Every structure is written in C-alpha cells, then in structure tokens.
Amino acid sequence: MKKVITLLLFCCFIATQFTAAQKKEKPFTHADTLRGSITPERAWWDVVHYSIHVTPDYEKKFIKGSNEIRFRVLKPGMVMQIDLQQPLNITSISYNKKELKYNRDGNAFFIDFQQHLKQGTEQSVIINYEGTPREAIRPPWDGGWIFAKDKLGRPWMSVACEGLGASVWYPCKDYLGDEPDNGASLSITVPDTLNAIGNGRLQEKKNNNDGTTTYTWAVVNPINNYNIIPYIGKYVTWHEDYKGEKGKLDCDYWVLDYNFEKAKTHFAAVDSMLKAFEFWFGPYPFYEDGYKLIEAPHLGMEHQSAVAYGNNFGVGYRGRDLSGTGRGLNWDFIIVHESGHEWFGNNITCKDLADEWIHEGFTSFSETLYVTYWFGKQAGNEYNIGIRKNIVNKYPIISNYGVNQGHFDTDEYYKSSNMLQLIRQVINDDEKFRQILTGLNKTFYHQTVSTSQVENYITKKSGIDFSKVFDQYLRNTAIPVLEYKTEKNSVSFRFTNCISGFAVPVKINIGNRDVWIYPTEEWNKLSLKDGYDGKTFTVDPNFYIINKRIE
C-alpha cells in the first residue's frame, strides 16, 4: 500500500525522474543489505509479539519509549540485529532482567546475548529508546513522525512510514517477511486534553494522575511493522455494526471533533466498500481486531484495522478522477483504496519490498472491481483503461531484492492493475476469476509471500500458464505490439516488442462480431469464409497491448 496512488504522486515522480534514475544507478551499500535482507543476525529468530510503549513530546518533537520483543528461537543464535533509524538511539536493552551489551552499525544495532539461545524456546528482550525522530515533511510520501496542528491549532500527531520502515520510530526487526505472529500492542501516553488511537481494540485507558493518560491498543493478528501506527489528537468516535461474511464486524470511526457531523454521513460509504470487497476477495481478514477509519493529518494509508483517512470527506481523489473518465467521481478514493489494502498488503504481504506490486497492483485493481460491483462491468472497464494513461514504463516493476528497494514511479499501481485486467480477460470467466481472488486471500491468509507464489497460484487455479505475462509486465518495460494485416476473408497477426515466448489469446472484433485470436511471435493467419471485407479489425481495449496495422 502500503502501500500513495495519486495523480499528485504521479506528477511528483515524473518531475523527479532524473533523481530516480540516479538512485537506481547508485551502488547498493552495506546499510542497504542490513536493512533489506535476511542477515545471519536476523535468520535465527522469529518475531512472536511486539509490546510497544511511546510517549511523544509535541513541543520538543521528541519521543521516548520501549519495545518488548517476544521471539521464537529457530536455531541456536547469540547475536541479534535490531533496527532503529538515526537520530533515535537505544538507551538500554535487558534480557531476563539483565543488561545486555550492544553495538551500532548505522541504523542497525547488534545485541550480544553472550550465549547461544536454545532452539525452539520463546524468549523476550526489552529495548528502551529515545530521541528526536525523523519528521515527515510531506506525508505520506515522505515518511516519519508527523507533528501537525488541526485547524484550531491543537496538536495532531501520527506516523507514516511505508517503505521507509517502522524503525523510523520504534526498534524492531524491520523486515517485511517477519510479522509478529501473535500481533502487537501499542501503549501511547499523551496529555489528558488529547486522545490516542492505535490498531485493533482498546485494552486499557489509564489516568496517570500527572496530566497524562495512557491508551493501550492491541491486535491479535499478524501485522506489518509499518502498519503499527499511533493517532493522537482531539478525536471523537462512534461505532457501527456491519453484517459481513463472517458475522458481525465492529466498525469504529474516529475524527476530529469539529468534523463529526459530516464524517458520520460521509463514512457511511464504508458499507459499500465492505460489501464489494467481501464479494470479490472474501471475508474482511481481521474480524478479531475490527475495522477502524481514522482521520489523519495526511492523505491516507493502509494501517491495518486502523485505516488512515485524509480525503476531506469528498469524492474521487481530492475531487479528481484519476482515470479521467468520470467513473472515479462516484466514490471516495481513499476509503476504497486504502481499505482494499486490508486484503492485499495487510492480509497478503510481500516478503520483500521489491514485490510491492502485490500490495499496490491488486489494490489499484480493487478500484476497478469496486466500480464494476456498483456501476457495472462497462464502467469498471472504462475506469481501468482510463488509469492506463498514468503508466510510465521506464523501469521494471520488480526491483532489486534484499536491499529494501521499492518502486521508482507509479507503475506498480496502474500497470500492475492493467496486467491483472488482461489476465481477467484471458481467463474469460469472472466467477472463476473471483474464486482466484478469494482463494488467494484464503490460501495466503495472514501470510507473507513472494511474487512467484502469487504467479504459481494464479497459473494453477486458472489452468493457464501466465508466467510469460508476469515476466512481460513485471520484469520488462516493453509493451507487446500486436501487428496485424487484413485481407478479404482473412487476417494475419503476430506479437512483436515482447519477451521470447510471450503469447496470450486476444479478443478482437471483425465484421461486427467478436473473435478470439492466438498470436505468437510468428505470423499466424485466420481464414474467414463468410464474406469478411478485410476492413474492420478492433482489439478489445481491456487488453493492455499496442495495436499496429501492417500494410
């Protein structure tokens, strides 16, 4: 989602392509490897639970806190890597009530247990930390802690850290492939004049008798590190029950006090989102933790069970339609897109940031499916085709593994969505396609996955080998060109500008009738014996290919 799928972001990336190119060409460093790979100091242990405490000082832009990390020992290990980004600093680490020694290497800390921990045991370590966190200047695109003010001048704080990583504000194993299996708790200590909301359900509200209150929230399901987020401000709330696929789903809404009335009307749209997505993807993945939509001091993010909302209670993306077709002006983009990440991004999570298209591509495509559900298939198709104009095709969607390298442009959104639409056309059976989507969410329920796992699942369940399609659109920048020649009573066709072996059936219209053709890299000919005049040849626009007539 992640996680940042907007026309503004698109324009920003276009304006900074030279910088992106420089970034891509820059050699990867030791720090990149520490951040993005399974180092020996990460490999021997698995996160079971985080128990995070944080106390922010709004005036000083300072935070102080701790994280108790429960972990399972997968194999004997003695040195543990913990991530915490500068300028934050660890002040102490304890294990079994004893202080441990540690050293720092940039944004990684290495803890020495001075003995190999026993395989199969569950252990815990408590890490205390403090400092002035990196501040997000332009959230959510520029990540970090957010020290904002509401329109009445009151403190309004949160965090946005997708890609940048949760270690920008708390110590953790900052690796997408290892989520805390048993969830996490977040305790937030704030002045009595403010409220604090976190992921999942409120466990405790404790008055500290010193002008502060501590709110403790918790999720019981696995959760991405970057999805664990505090929201602090002058919030009010209301509750609604949604009758969903798994029974009663608790839906809670938190907004700034002066936005209560309009938000209560506007957030009714959540029902339409849940109905459409439970149809296409299966049950909401976190019934145990509930669903929350929370007004945030930025545009929006997919924070699990606590979705960030900042779209000004309007339709489209800040009143705009990213497809340019008008189809995006009938619904709130942020409610739909960021909530769609609960299925793709939060339920199914990529192990490596290079595979982030799994989050963004499927969720971008969820917009098409939402429009289809409520406004019809033609409307959904028009929306998907419309967002195609935002595709850059400068870099492959899948970037380098093991170095926490994400995307350079918006292609993991729009191009991936159009690839999925092409796959849907080739399957040519929306019920089977829906079963594949619901099957993905059931098979990989609360798991981290790789692109190959998703590819193999779709190929197996569809009965169609899509390996070359994934290679073409995810690992290559060229868009296949369908060259064709028409003659009386026949058409000839082939694919060019494609990887070796690329071949998919394509639906065309000739003589006012739909016909399927099966192009390869070699010229193929379709003979038509019933009076085809050799003039009409239209390719179904839902296929993301380029058409070229050859005279």
Q: Is residue 386 helix, strand or coil?
A: helix
H/E stretch holding 473 reads: helix 467-474
Alpha carbon distance 413, 320 (integer Å): 17
Angle formed by the axes of helices 451-462 and 411-427, nearest 10°: 20
Opening angle at CA 522, ends 518 and 523, nearest 5 = 75
379 CB-side CA count, 13 A: 15
pLDDT at 228: 98
* Pairing of β 490-496 and β 108-117: unpaired
DSSP assignment of 138-157, as one string? STTTS-EEEEEE-TTS-EEE
pLDDT at 9: 41
Where the chain has pLDDT below 50, the residues are 1-23
Q: Residue 119: how many CB atoms within 10 A of its CB?
A: 12
431 CB-side CA count, 13 A: 0
Cβ atoms of residues 359 and 449 within 8 Å: no
Alpha carbon distance 178, 114 (integer Å): 24
User: In b/e form, how buried is each residue of 388-425, taking b as 16+ CB within 10 angstroms?
Assistant: bebbbeebbbbbebbbbbbbbbbbbbbbbbbbbbbbbb
pLDDT at 420: 98
Q: Residue 446: how many CB atoms within 10 A of its CB?
A: 16
Question: 7-340 maps to which CATH number?
Answer: 2.60.40.1730
User: In b/e form, how buried is each residue of 226-263, taking b as 16+ CB within 10 angstroms?
Assistant: bbbbbbbbbbbeeeeebebeeeebbbbbbbbeebeeeb
Asked if the domains at 7-340 and 481-549 fall in one CATH topology, the answer is yes
What residues contact 548, with CB distance under 8 A and at least 6 apart?
A: 481, 482, 483, 484
Question: How many residues does this entry show for the chain?
Answer: 551
Alpha carbon distance 158, 227 (integer Å): 12
Rounded to whole angstroms, what are the CA distances from 412 to 1, 136, 209, 362? 10, 23, 49, 9
**Sequence spans of domains, the chain:** 7-340, 481-549
DSSP assignment of 24-83, as one string? HHSPP-HHHHHHHS--HHHHTEEEEEEEEEEEEETTTTEEEEEEEEEEEESS-EEEEEEE
Alpha carbon distance 454, 459 (integer Å): 9
pLDDT at 19: 35
Cis amide prior to 140 (ω within 30 degrees): yes
Cβ atoms of residues 440 and 348 within 8 Å: yes
What residues contact 96, with CB distance under 8 A and at least 6 apart?
A: none
In this predicted model, what pLDDT tens digit does every residue of 483-500 receive, in sequence order?
999 988 899 999 999 999
Cβ atoms of residues 332 and 312 within 8 Å: no
The second-level CATH assignment, the architecture, of 481-549 is Sandwich (2.60)
pLDDT at 391: 97
Q: Residue 29: how many CB atoms within 10 A of its CB?
A: 11
The residue with tokens 């749209």 is 269
